[in-house]
Structure 1
Amino acid sequence: MSGNPNEIKLVNNAMSNVTRRKIMNFLENGERSTEEIGGEIGKVMLDFHLKVLQQASLIDLGEGTAKLSEYGRNFLKGKENKGEEKNTDISKAKPVEIAEVRQLLPCIADSSKFRVIANMAPPLGGTLKVLEPLFPRGRYSDRINALIMQKGEIITTIYGTGKVTMTMIKNEGEAGEALENLRNTINEAIAKGVAPAPREKVRVEPMEIYKYLPQTNCGKCSEQSCYTFAIKLMSGEVALEKCTPLKEPGYSTNQEHLQVLSAYI
C-alpha cells in the first residue's frame, strides 16, 4: 500500500474490530480455509469481516481460503514490539470502601428496577484507567474520567471523584451485594500491587445490540430496520447517535447499555 490517507483509513477501520484482529492473528501461521477460520473465530458475519480485511490489502482470499498478504504480514510484524502487554503498578493506591448508598431511585426505562447512587472512598482518580482489565465488560472513558462496566443488565459506573452509579438493580439487597463484590475485586488488585495486562474484550453479536435498540424500524436512521442498523453499527458504518429515538427519556437506559456495548465492537 502507498500509505495515502484513504488506504490508512481502510487499515485502521479493518483493525479496529476485535474479530478481524483475531482473524489476522489466526492467519499468522499460514493459509487457512474459511471453514477453519469460522470454527476458530465464529461464523457470524465472517464473510463480511474477510472482505473488509481484503479491501484493506491485509489478506488475500482464494477459493474457500484466506492468507495474510505480504503487506498484512509486515503489518503484524510492525505491531509485535508495540503489542507487548505489561502489568501496571498500582501499589501506591489505597484500599477503597463503599462509604454510603445515597439514593435508590426508580429506573426511567423500567419502573420495577432501581438506579443506585453510592460513594466510594478514597476516590481512585486516574487509577481507574489501569483497573479496566479487571472487568471483562469494562471500559475507561477519558472524557468523563470514569470506569464503566456491564454485567447482565446492570451497568455500573465508577467516577474518578468517587461517585458510583448502578442501573437496573432489583432491590437494595442486590445493590449492596454488587457494591461489595466491586469493592473486593478492586481491593484484591490493590493488595497485589498490580493490575492485570490489558486483554481483548468480550465479543458482541448483532442480536445483542438489536436487543437494546427501539425495534420500531422507524427508518429515522435511514436504514431499513433496527437489525440492519445493528449490523452496520458493528461494522463502523453508522454511529450510535444516528438512532435519534434513543435520545427520548424512555430509552435512556437502552442508550447506556448500547454505549457500553459499542466499546467492544
Structure 2
Amino acid sequence: MTGSPADVKLVSNAMANATRRKIMALLMEKERTREEVESAAGGAMLDYHLQMLQQAGLVETKEGRIILTDFGKNFLESKAEKPAEAKDLAGTKPLQVVELRQLLPCIADASKFRIIARFEPPLGGALKLLEPLFPRARYSDKIGALIIQKGNILITIYAAGNVTMTMIKSEEEARKTMDDLKKTINEAIAKGVTPVPREKVKVDHAEIYKYLPKTDCRVCEEQSCYAFAIKLVARETALEKCTPLLEARYSTNLEHIRTLLEYL
C-alpha cells in the first residue's frame, strides 16, 4: 500500500470525488473485478481514481480483485453513522474557515480549479437546516452534505466540516466564496432559529442546455441538445441518454445538471 491511512489529507482528497465515492460504495457490498468496477462506475480515468484510493490506503488489489482495506471498511462504517438531526440552530457554534487549498485543475475547464476547504466546528445535524438559506441548494441525506449552486460554482458542504468547490477562478474567489458562506451561515446561527424557507429559483430548459455538450450528436434520440433539454425539464427523457456527458471533460457539467434537475 503506497499511502498511509493516517494521512487525513490523502483520504480527504480521495473521497472528494463522486466517482471514487461510488467505487467505495460498490466495494462495501463485496470485492469486485476491475471489469465490474468499470461497468458500474465508468471507465473514464478509472486508473487515476483507483490510484487515488490506493494512495489513501482505502483499497487494494489482491489476486486480480479490488477490495477494501481494513482501514477502508472502518472509514466507510464510521461515515455511515449519520449525525443526529437538529431541530433548530440553538447551540450551534459560529463557523471559522480553517483550511483552504487548491487541489486540482477542473477537468471540465483546466483554467479553473477544484478547491478543498474546511469549516470548524463541523455543523453535523444542523447542516440540513441551512438549505433554505440559499436559493439553489439541496441537502443530500445520502452523503450528508449540503450542495449549493452559485453561478457556475458548485459547492458541497459536508456535515463533518469539509467543503469542496468546483469551477473556481482563483484563490481570491475561493476565499471570498468561503467568507460569504461563513457570513450567511453565522448570521443564521446568531439568530438561533431555523431559517425560513425561501422560494426556489425556477429552472428552465435554457439553463439545462447551458451545461449540455451542444454537439447535437443525436445519441439521445432527440433532434438537438436544445430539444433534449426541453424533454429533460418535462421529465420525458433520462439524463443518462446523453452519453457524452459521462466523459470526464463534462463531469462538472453533469454535476450541475443533476443538481438543477433536483429542483424540478
Name the TM-score class by shorter chain: 0.5 to 0.7
Quote the residue 2:88 is aligned against.
89
- Whether 1:173 aligns to 2:166 is no
Mapped partners of 1:166, 1:111: distance in 2: 14
Quote the residue 2:243 is aligned against.
244
Q: How many residues align?
A: 178
TM-score relative to the length of structure 1: 0.64
Mapped partners of 2:137, 2:109: distance in 1: 23
TM-score relative to the length of structure 2: 0.64
Residue-by-residue CA offset, 1:15-49 (whole Å, 9 max, x unaligned): xxxxxxxxxxxxxxxxxxxxxxxxxxxxxxxxxxx
Kindly indicate whether the alpha-carbon contact (under 8 Å) linking 1:101 and 1:119 is maintained by their aligned counterparts in 2: yes
Q: Secondary structure at the match of 2:156?
A: strand
Kindly indicate whether the alpha-carbon contact (under 8 Å) linking 2:100 and 2:118 is maintained by their aligned counterparts in 1: yes
Residue-by-residue CA offset, 1:189-243 (whole Å, 9 max, x unaligned): 0110013222331101211110100111222222221111111111112222222
Q: In structure 1, what residue type is equivalent to 2:164? A: T
Q: How does 1:74-153 map to 2 (within 5 A)?
A: 89-153=88-152
Mapped partners of 1:128, 1:228: distance in 2: 37
Q: Secondary structure at the match of 2:124?
A: coil
Mapped partners of 2:223, 2:161: distance in 1: 43
Q: How many angstroms does 1:162 deviate by?
A: 1.1
Structure 2 stretches lacking a partner, 5+ long: 1-86
Kindly indicate whether the alpha-carbon contact (under 8 Å) linking 1:133 and 1:195 is maintained by their aligned counterparts in 2: no
Quote the residue 2:220 is aligned against.
221
Mapped partners of 1:128, 1:221: distance in 2: 37
What is the CA RMSD across the aligned residues, in angstroms?
1.4
Mapped partners of 2:125, 2:263: distance in 1: 21
Of 95-104 and 130-139, the range deviating more from structure 2:
95-104
Quote the residue 2:207 is aligned against.
208
Residue-by-residue CA offset, 1:152-176 (whole Å, 9 max, x unaligned): 1111110112110111111101111
Q: How many angstroms does 1:142 deviate by?
A: 1.1
Q: In structure 1, what residue type is equivalent to 2:112? A: K
Quote the residue 2:188 is aligned against.
189
Quote the residue 2:33 is aligned against.
none
Q: In structure 2, what residue type is equivalent to 1:105? A: L
Quote the residue 1:256 is aligned against.
255
Runs of 4+ in 1 over 3 A off after TM superposition: none
Mapped partners of 2:113, 2:194: distance in 1: 31
Mapped partners of 2:170, 2:98: distance in 1: 18
Kindly indicate whether the alpha-carbon contact (under 8 Å) linking 2:133 and 2:198 is maintained by their aligned counterparts in 1: no
Q: In structure 1, what residue type is equivalent to 2:151? A: G
Q: Secondary structure at the match of 1:168?
A: strand
Kindly indicate whether the alpha-carbon contact (under 8 Å) linking 1:134 and 1:195 is maintained by their aligned counterparts in 2: no
Q: In structure 1, what residue type is equivalent to 2:170? A: N
Closer, same or farther: CA 93–239 of 1 in aligned 2, 3 Å: farther
Mapped partners of 1:204, 1:101: distance in 2: 31
Quote the residue 1:160 is aligned against.
159
Kindly indicate whether the alpha-carbon contact (under 8 Å) linking 2:125 and 2:159 is maintained by their aligned counterparts in 1: yes
Q: Secondary structure at the match of 1:144?
A: coil
Q: How many angstroms does 1:105 deviate by?
A: 2.1
Mapped partners of 2:105, 2:183: distance in 1: 27
Q: Secondary structure at the match of 1:117?
A: strand
Kindly indicate whether the alpha-carbon contact (under 8 Å) linking 2:213 and 2:244 is maintained by their aligned counterparts in 1: yes
Quote the residue 1:17 is aligned against.
none
